[in-house]
Amino acid sequence: MKMKKVISLISVLVDSHFGISTKKYTYFKKKQRLWEPAVIGGGVVAVVVSLSPLYYLLMKNMFDQYVQMGLENLFITTSVLLTGFLGFFFGIFFMTNALFFSKDMRTLVPLPLSPSEVITGKMFIVFLDQMFISLALLLPPLIYFGVRMELGIHYWIYAAVVFLLSQVIPVTFIGLILLPLSRYIKINRYRDFLVFFISAIILVGVLVFVGFMGGVEGNGLTPEEISQVLADPDALISRISLLYPPGLIAVRALTSGASTGFLWTVLFVFMNFGAFALLIFLGKKLYYHTYSELQESFASRKQFKEGELATFLSKHETPLKALIRREWRYFLRVPSFAVNGLSSVIILPALLLIMTGASGSDQVQQILTILEGASGFVVPAGVLVAVLAGSLSTLASSVFSREGKLFRELKALPISVKQVVMAKIMQITTVSLIGPAATVIALFVLFRISLFEGIAIILTSMVCITFLNFIQFLIDVSRPVLDWDNPHKAMKQNLNVAFSLPVIFGFVVGAGYLGYRLSDLLSPLAMTLVLLVTGILGTLLLWRTILSRTSALLIRDL
């Protein structure tokens, strides 16, 4: 494997993946659409500015609580483990598509490149896509921990190494599972099952870990159990890190001092490069053979046996059910769609779930004590938090843009406009439901809300989320971005998404401000009913407009 060729390949793949040359030509050469970066950047800034205060408060509360217990190193342990677990979860989507269903393989296979060079280039792109997890969950805690502990230059060097290599093990581990498995399971037939099955296992593991971390932070522990924990903090960290052994090495590298930390850092580097080398070795043995089989499976398809064709044609499915299944398959089979849709709706609930783990800290208890006087307003406030969490998936604002060239397929299907709209809304609503569900779980822990209050929050928030989704739906159906050669353009580079963010934040902030100003006049029940009625009326008023705009789009010449 020649490094010069690998570097050249990586540069070309990065350019193609993120559309760098296209943007440079459009913005700097042709001087066109210069307002697009400003709109996209403004949307990103709005999200970061609105979530940063809460994120900082959570980090401060968790760190202060760990310091009080003499477990300050557990702060960085939590960040490293959560980053690794979510890396496993989202890595499934990226790796499955990159290894077996990437269109660029048709171009790369005929080139004079060895399998190891091709796999190295493709894995580098996956690493870059995965780094958004580390940027959100690992980089801020690393910086905060170093500043609060007043650590020396050696810490920042070791932290940079840990951060840059944080997604190598998750990605290579998923690859080491998929490559051998592909020799025995028909990936093209069972890909959806594998994605759901493996990701469900990892997601359950993340939730169990969050619950476990909340349990070790002193909530409900007896004095004897607390004494045992404080007697040997390193043993506790080692026990927790058994869930993710590479995380233990990373934590030791960051917390063991200059000389010892250097040795742990070297071990961490060798472990990551060793795992990557094993992935390249297996890839050379298995990858090209499996990919070739996938491509040849259609050309060499056997003739139907007697009765098979009749059985195949006798299968019946309602148009709505078939359309919903189509939505989910396209959603899961494009990592850019699945990861952006799921990660956006998980961010705020994840922060709330982390806050439940820190609910025993003095600072959070003080906040909760202050809020006790306004505890009756937890339902309308919870509705707004759930609305914000569930509306950030950006799936509704790219509902037709994600179709791309497949939109012609949708136009040709013998189905009604209502069935198309219903299928898309139902799929988007299912993803959005993750936000309110996780929000209610956090509120159960923080405020001990009743089951009735939890149901009220979920139902009211879902009605408001549907209303906001309808607005985003209208934005995209009015100007869909169908001409794209990179799925990132359909979501990350789609101005419809940027236009939708002010709508979401405007609704939540506006309703919150009005509720605060009218808290002396309106009861919590009245506020909740106002939100419910607003969501219902808005949804009903927009329904016919959505149908007419969708109908006009489906009959439009492309």
* Predicted confidence (pLDDT) per residue in 376-394, tens digit: 678 888 888 888 888 887 7
Residue 163 clears pLDDT 90, i.e. is over it: yes
The whole-number pLDDT of residue 247 equals: 83
In angstroms, the CA 237 to CA 247 distance is 10
Question: Which one is predicted more confidently, 160 or 395?
Answer: 160
Residue 440 clears pLDDT 60, i.e. is over it: yes
Q: List the single range of 76-85, 151-160, 223-232, 397-406 with lowest mean pLDDT.
A: 223-232
The whole-number pLDDT of residue 396 equals: 86
CB neighbour list of residue 198: distance below 8 Å, 6 or more residues apart: 92, 174, 177
Q: What is the mean pLDDT of residues 292-320?
A: 57
The whole-number pLDDT of residue 478 equals: 86
The whole-number pLDDT of residue 364 equals: 46
Left, alpha or beta for 181 (phi > 0: left; psi -120 to 50: alpha)?
alpha
Q: List the single range of 173-182, 426-435, 514-523 with lowest mean pLDDT.
A: 173-182
User: Residue 390 in contact with residue 434, Cβ under 8 Å?
Assistant: yes
Residue 200 clears pLDDT 60, i.e. is over it: no
Residue 203 clears pLDDT 60, i.e. is over it: no
Confidence class for position 300, pLDDT limits 50, 70, 90: very low
Question: Which one is predicted more confidently, 225 or 327?
Answer: 327
- Helix or strand holding residue 94 (H, E): helix 73-100
Instruction: State the chain's mean pLDDT as an integer.
Output: 76
* Predicted confidence (pLDDT) per residue in 347-376, tens digit: 666 666 555 554 444 444 544 454 444 456
Q: List the single range of 201-205, 340-344, 349-353, 420-424 with lowest mean pLDDT.
A: 201-205
Question: Which one is predicted more confidently, 342 or 476?
Answer: 476
SS (H, E, C) 6-58: HHHHHHHHHHHHHCHHHHHHHHHHCCCCCHHHHHHHHHHHHHHHHHHHHHHHH
The whole-number pLDDT of residue 13 equals: 83
User: Residue 470 in contact with residue 399, Cβ under 8 Å?
Assistant: no
The whole-number pLDDT of residue 258 equals: 86
- Helix or strand holding residue 89 (H, E): helix 73-100
The whole-number pLDDT of residue 543 equals: 93
The first and second tokens of residue 331, run together, are 């959603």
Confidence class for position 488, pLDDT limits 50, 70, 90: low
Question: Which one is predicted more confidently, 78 or 365?
Answer: 78
* Predicted confidence (pLDDT) per residue in 82-133, tens digit: 888 778 777 776 777 677 666 676 777 777 777 778 888 888 888 888 888 8
Residue 266 clears pLDDT 90, i.e. is over it: yes
Confidence class for position 67, pLDDT limits 50, 70, 90: confident
Residue 407 clears pLDDT 70, i.e. is over it: yes
- 136-257-155 Cα angle (round to 5): 35
Task: Give which of 418, 357, 424 is closest to 395, Cα–Cα.
Answer: 424
Residue 212 clears pLDDT 60, i.e. is over it: no
The whole-number pLDDT of residue 236 equals: 52
The first and second tokens of residue 552, run together, are 């006009």
Question: Which one is predicted more confidently, 470 or 113?
Answer: 470
- 477-544-389 Cα angle (round to 5): 60
Residue 215 clears pLDDT 50, i.e. is over it: no
| Highest mean pLDDT pick, 129-143, 212-226, 532-546 | 532-546
| Highest mean pLDDT pick, 219-228, 480-489, 513-522, 525-534 | 525-534
The whole-number pLDDT of residue 524 equals: 84
User: Residue 63 in contact with residue 144, Cβ under 8 Å?
Assistant: yes
- In the chain, how many H helices and how many E strands? 27, 0
Q: What is the mean pLDDT of residues 145-151?
A: 89
Provide, rounded to the nearest whole percent, the portion of the chain with pLDDT above 90.
13
Confidence class for position 299, pLDDT limits 50, 70, 90: very low
- 111-115-118 Cα angle (round to 5): 65
Question: Which one is predicted more confidently, 69 or 324?
Answer: 324
In angstroms, the CA 343 to CA 94 distance is 13
In angstroms, the CA 305 to CA 462 distance is 48
In angstroms, the CA 96 to CA 91 distance is 8
Question: Which one is predicted more confidently, 71 or 473?
Answer: 473
- Helix or strand holding residue 460 (H, E): helix 451-478
How would you class 408 by CB atoms within 10 Å of its CB: exposed for 0-12, middle for 13-18, buried for 19 or more? Answer: exposed
Residue 334 clears pLDDT 60, i.e. is over it: yes
User: Residue 457 in contact with residue 379, Cβ under 8 Å?
Assistant: yes
Question: Which one is predicted more confidently, 452 or 223?
Answer: 452
The first and second tokens of residue 413, run together, are 């299907």
Residue 222 clears pLDDT 90, i.e. is over it: no
User: Residue 481 in contact with residue 496, Cβ under 8 Å?
Assistant: yes
Please list the helix, strand and coil fractions of the chain in percent, rounded to the nearest 5, in that order.
Answer: 80, 0, 20
**CA 157 to chain centroid:** 28
DSSP 314: T
Question: Which one is predicted more confidently, 165 or 183?
Answer: 165
